């Protein structure tokens, strides 16, 4: 019995990052479906775009869209380098394992 994931590649929506996984990726959920989002922190409210969908999990990236800029600027000004660098490392590490 196959259940279709509630998201599709290319779909965009707003989420709250509920947790951070072992590799540093943020974890968000859409109708119970887990999405991994690199470069975010627990509690962040972001607009994401789905990049890959598997049977039980998906992957997404933060959109540089409207509305998120003013909120994102305030948080990014504190630690812009720490948010950018781990995202690249996580993506590389994830692919190797």
Tokens 């990726």 belong to: 25
Using a cut of 0.75, tell me whether the model's pTM lies above it: no
**pLDDT at res. 77:** 43
- Is the pLDDT at 43 greater than 90? The verdict is yes
Spatial separation of the C-alpha atoms in residues 33 and 13, rounded to whole Å: 13
Give the model's confidence band at 53: pLDDT under 50 very low, under 70 low, under 90 confident, else very high.
Answer: very high
Of 28 and 65, the one with more pLDDT: 28
Structural domains of the chain, with CATH: 12-81 (2.40.50.140)
**pLDDT at res. 70:** 37
Contact 5/55 with Cβ under 8 angstroms? yes
Mean pLDDT confidence for 13-36: 96
Instruction: Output the average pLDDT for the chain.
Output: 78
């Amino acid at each position: 019995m196959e259940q279709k994931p509630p998201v599709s590649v290319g779909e965009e929506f707003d989420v709250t990052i509920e947790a951070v996984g072992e590799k540093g990726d943020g974890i968000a959920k859409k109708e119970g479906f887990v999405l991994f989002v690199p470069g975010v922190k627990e509690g962040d409210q972001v607009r994401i775009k789905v990049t890959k969908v598997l049977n039980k999990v998906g992957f997404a990236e933060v959109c540089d869209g409207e509305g998120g800029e003013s909120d994102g600027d305030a948080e990014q000004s504190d630690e812009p380098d720490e948010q950018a660098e781990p995202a690249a490392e996580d993506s590389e590490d994830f692919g190797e394992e």
